[in-house]
Structure formats: C-alpha cells, structure tokens
Amino acid sequence: MVTLNRIYTRTGDAGTTRLATGQTVSKTDLRVEAYGCVDETNACIGLARVHLAHDPELDAMLGRIQNELFDLGADLAMPAEADEEPGSKLRILDGQVARLEAEIDSLNDRLPGLKSFILPGGTPAAAALHLARTVSRRAEREAVRLTETGEPVSGPAMRYLNRLSDHLFVAARWANGRGEAEVFWESGATR
C-alpha cells in the first residue's frame, strides 16, 4: 500500500526523479517517459468513464484497466532483474493480457464489421477512448524504445500495452452506440 502524506517533495526541482528502485534519473529518462504515458492513458480513460454511467459493462472493464495501469506503471518503474523471484515485484501477468483479449473479443463480436477506417470522435466517451488509444500507443513506443537501449521491460508488460490500444479501439466503437454513431473516413473526399 502506498501512503502519500506529503504531495510535494521538492526532489524534482532539479529535473530529476526516482525510480521505484530509488535510483535517481532525469525526468526525460525513457523509463519515466514510458510510465508517464501510461499515466496519461489512465487520465484519458478516466475522462471517458465520466460519460459511461449508462454502460456499466464497459465502465467496469475500464475501471479494472485503470487499476491495472497503476500496476503497469509500477512494473515499468522497477526494472526487472535477471535473478528476480517470480511474484517478488508487482508485475503485469499473462492472465491480465488474456483478460484484455477476452474482453476485446466479447465486445468486437457484438459490433458491426468495419468497411472503412474510423475517424476519432462520435460520442464524448468514444472520443476520449480514441485519445486514450493514441496515448497508449505512445506508451508502447516508449517501452519499445526502452528495450532497444538494452533496458529490461517484462514480456507481459509489452503484450499488455499492445493489447490495451486494441481494447481501447474496440471500446471506442462500443461507446459510439455499439458502432451506430461512428464517423467513417471518406477516402479522397476533400480533393
């Protein structure tokens, strides 16, 4: 459990922050960028949920995802060690990835098929979910960039990020009247 008695610490005034390991790094560190984008995704989902009181099924999924995004942030903020005991650190698990996949399939199976690309928009909830989707894609790119520098990121965390944007895409379609209020791209329409 986390206890926050003091909100400002002044430790970041010099442009640095601490990872969960206690290591001091720049606020522009790739790891900080990755979990920062996860935090932004969470905020976008929170905005979408403000508009979903009428849809308890989707709202419950997104509420669980918001909680898991804190787990994901913790996972990203604590670089994995080669000799780490399974379960000794808060990590994203393959079961969480599987649940995302099951929810994607459940929602998608009840949506009309796609015949064109969708423009982000429609209902306020759908627009916020499309924004969350694009921010989660940025989080995924930052995590990939982190691995390309030789920094460890767990496989389940990477898979979770990849499935998350898919989940948010399908959720946005669902929030658009189960596909009825979608705005479709019209190829070359403004030529």
What pLDDT sits at residue 177? 75
Question: Each residue of 175-188: pLDDT tens digit?
Answer: 987 877 778 887 87
Adjacent-strand bridge partners of 25: 17
Give the chain's residues under pLDDT 50.
none
| Secondary structure class of 26 (helix, strand, coil) | strand
What pLDDT sits at residue 79? 78
Contacts for 88 with CB less than 8 Å, ≥ 6 apart: none
Label each residue of 46-85 as H, E or C: HHHHCCCCCCHHHHHHHHHHHHHHHHHHHHHHCCCCCCCC
